[in-house]
Structure 1
Amino acid sequence: MLVRLLYASRAATPLTSTVVDSILAQSRDHNPKFGITGILCYSDDLFLQVLEGGRDEVCELFNAIVRDDRHTNVRILSFEEIPERRFGGWTMGHVNMATVNPSLLLKYTERPQLNPFNCSGQASMALLLELIATASVIGRCA
């Protein structure tokens, strides 16, 4: 059974390219072994991530993320059973939200900045789908 989990968290320490690269490398190494796909968006001290895969695998990965000391304030925004993947093209695609047109963020949020803690899970998912549609996601699998 496939599921999709959308969560938000805050970075425990200031986000540097080293921290983000470490998270992405770990994800890209780990996720294919367990059939997990998704994307990670980050900005300032915020993460927004969607994970898709088998229920047990996604839940185990989420539990590991909650225990990961690089994340704080981890919050589930959406969890659902799904008939098919929407993020199947990425072992872990990513979007640096600083490179996204602010008007796109204003479409889904109160201010032109990423803050999934201040909007609904539905709006956050719509933003992710639009990021795919506008080719903003980096790291597509071969």
Structure 2
Amino acid sequence: MLVRLLYASRAAVPPDAETLQGILRPSRLNNPAQGITGVLCVCSASGVYLQVLEGGRGAVNRLYQRIVTDRRHGDVELLSYEEIVERRFNGWAMGQVDMSRLNPALLLKYSEKPRLDPFAMPASASMALLLELMATASVVGSP
């Protein structure tokens, strides 16, 4: 059974390129064997992570449990968890939103202010934002 999980968290320390690669590199190596796909959005300025994970229920649940206890994350909040018929993020073992290419007007489309704050947005708006970022080629990384 496939599921989609969407969560947000606050970085324990401001994420830099090394921290980000420390998350993405193992994800891209390990996720294919677990059947997990998804996208990670990191806003270094505000220290916010927004991530969607898709895959088998057991594999996604185990990964989320590791994320919750990962010292790089604080205030982990489950935004959405649903059974799905098909994946939307199947193109990435773990894609990354290129925040340098992000148009602030796109953020205003889904939130009150032109900044990424999934804690103040409905989960459906966060998911719609990720889908639009994918559609506008703002997600990078090899599958």
Structure 2-normalised TM-score?
0.96
Which residues of 2 match residues 20-39 of structure 1 at below 5 A? 20-39=20-39
Identify the residue that residue 137 of structure 2 maps to in structure 1. Answer: 135
CA RMSD across the alignment: 0.8
Unaligned runs of 5+ in 2: none
Amino acid at match of 2:42: Y
Segments of structure 1 that go 5 or more residues without pairing to the other structure are none
Q: How much does 1:33 deviate?
A: 1.1
Q: Which residue of 2 aligns with 1:87?
A: 89
How far the C-alpha of 1:124 sits from its partner, in A, is: 0.1
CA contact (8 A) 1:97 1:114 kept: no
Please point out which of 51, 54, 76 is paired with 2:53.
Answer: 51
Structure 1 residues 111 and 98, CA, compared in 2 at 3 Å: closer, same or farther? Answer: farther
Counterpart of 1:76 in 2: which secondary structure? strand
Instruction: Quote how far apart the aligned CAs of 1:98 are.
Output: 4.1
Determine the structure 1 residue equivalent to 2:9.
9
Code of the residue aligned with 1:72 in structure 2: it is G
Alpha-carbon distance in structure 1 between the residues aligned to 2:72 and 2:101: 23
* Aligned counterparts, 1:62-141, within 5 A: 62-141=64-143
1:48-85 residue CA offsets vs partner (Å, 9 max, x unmatched): 00000000000000000001000000001100000000
- Structure 2 residue identity aligned to 1:102: P
Q: 1:3-58: CA deviations, max 9, x gaps? A: 00000001001110000011000111111110000000010200000000000000
Q: What number of residue pairs does the alignment pair up?
A: 141
One-letter code aligned to 1:15: P
CA deviations 1:93-126 (Å, max 9, x no partner) are 0013343000000000111010000001000000
Structure 2: distance between partners of 1:133 and 1:8 = 21
Secondary structure at 1:111 match in 2: coil
> Please, what TM-score do these two structures have when normalized by structure 1?
0.97
Structure 1 residue 140, shift from structure 2 partner: 3.4
* Percent identity between the two aligned chains: 59
